[in-house]
Structure 1
Amino acid sequence: MTSVARTHAEAARERRDIVSGEVMAEARLIRFVAGPDGAVVPDLARKLPGRGMWVAADRASVETAAKKGLFARSAKAPMKASPDLAEQVSALLRARILNALGLARKAGDLTSGFEKVSSAISSGKAAWLVEASDGAADGRGKLLRLARHQSPPPGVFGVFTATELGLALGGENVIHTAFLAGRAAERWTEDVRRLAGFSPLLPEDWREEPVEAKREP
């Protein structure tokens, strides 16, 4: 592929945020479309038909777009944005991220259990350490300390309970999981970063100092 072709492809993946007017990568935005009844509908997969309206992937931006009628202004047509639109986006992202974990398990991109996760971190194969939000602090702390000594350290994700992870991954209760580095982890990271704009990735009551969030590549 020529450099010109790459430039065109990169430009096609950039959109303008209707709130700030800033042009940014699609990965940093949420796409919305108009539903049949004129309601504003989040399109996280960017596949729904219709003209897309793009908003930065954070709660404040989505709330501003809804409150100030920016969707209707962008579409140049009457549109109704629910007052809880940002919360809808957050819930949809959570479901999408959890579902992706289940698909990754089937594809062999996850490993679970303390010893297996510890090995994945030590060998540098872990892109993310996925910990149950209600897991015991002792085991989590050991893995976090181990992760801090890796370069670069894996990201840490603690949004779902052991029951939620178990249902997604086919186990009764899942406490420790590593998402192995690769294309699947890169795609998952994009959604996780979008979720971070709407809710914390770690529970407030975790006392350990968290490993740094994964840096942008």
Structure 2
Amino acid sequence: MEKKSKYCCPLTGKYFCIGQMLLFKEMNNILICDVNAKVTEKGVWCNPNRNDIEKAIKNKVFDRLLNKKLKIPSFFIESIESNLKLKILNLLGLSKKAGLLEIGYDKVLKAIKDETVDAVLIDKEADKLKTLFIENNDKNKISLYRCFSREEIGKAIGYKKVLCVALIASKLSNALKLDFYRLKEFKCD
């Protein structure tokens, strides 16, 4: 088992695994957030909490950390959220192509009972499904996510509308769970 190093967030002083953090860097004197950054890239790695990032922008913390007077676009915060969502939806499509996705209510329930999945994504408005999955999940410890509409889920995997999908346990599902964590922390739900 590999040892996971924790890094200090310069905004809060708290420690996080680097995979849970967002990379901020400067490009042509403009602050950017690279949601697809590899852990070896240089820049300022920060926790993904929206409030901390907004406070840092307001107090010009990134200017001091990167030693430059930075321009920050008015849509900067919204672009971080939309880029995180887009990354997750792209990974969902990739997991379908790799055969690592169970699609539809019956297949998802069967996969949960067979304990072959470690994450379930359901439509954000499907409250009845949420309680059903929580009841079935007491012993399995499967992560449940409700961030997207059925249209968004469907479009990502090539269907019109999809109520729920389950990610078969794999390295890809681990990457998706990290991105879900970052999105959840960023949205402050």
Please indicate the TM-score interval, normalised by the length of the shorter structure.
Answer: 0.7 to 0.9
Give 1:19's aligned residue. 11
CA–CA distance in structure 2, aligned partners of residues 114 and 24 of structure 1: 35
1:189 aligns with 2:177: yes
State the 1:140 CA deviation.
4.6
Aligned partner letter, 1:197: E
- Return 5+ residue gaps in structure 2 as ranges: none
Count of residues in Structure 1 that have an aligned counterpart in Structure 2: 189
8 Å contact kept, 1:67–1:83: no
1:142 aligns with 2:135: no
Bigger Rg over Cα: 1
Give 1:77's aligned residue. 68
- Return 5+ residue gaps in structure 1 as ranges: 202-217
Query: TM-score by structure 2 length?
Result: 0.88
8 Å contact kept, 1:114–1:176: yes
Aligned partner letter, 1:57: P
Give 1:46's aligned residue. 37
Give 1:127's aligned residue. 118
CA–CA distance in structure 2, aligned partners of residues 57 and 171 of structure 1: 31
SS in 2 for 1:196: helix
The CA RMSD measured in Å over matched residues stands at 2.5
8 Å contact kept, 2:25–2:66: no
Asked which structure has the greater RCO (Cα within 8 Å, sep 6+), the reply is 2
CA–CA distance in structure 1, aligned partners of residues 17 and 125 of structure 2: 34
| Aligned pairs (5 A) from 1:1-217 | 10-11=4-5, 14-36=6-28, 38-47=29-38, 51-135=42-126, 137-148=127-138, 150-151=139-140, 153-199=141-187
CA–CA distance in structure 1, aligned partners of residues 13 and 128 of structure 2: 46
1:99-157, Cα deviation, whole Å (9 max, x unpaired): 1100001001110111111110001112111111234x444543332223x33x21111
SS in 1 for 2:185: coil
Give 1:208's aligned residue. none
CA–CA distance in structure 1, aligned partners of residues 109 and 14 of structure 2: 41
8 Å contact kept, 2:50–2:188: no
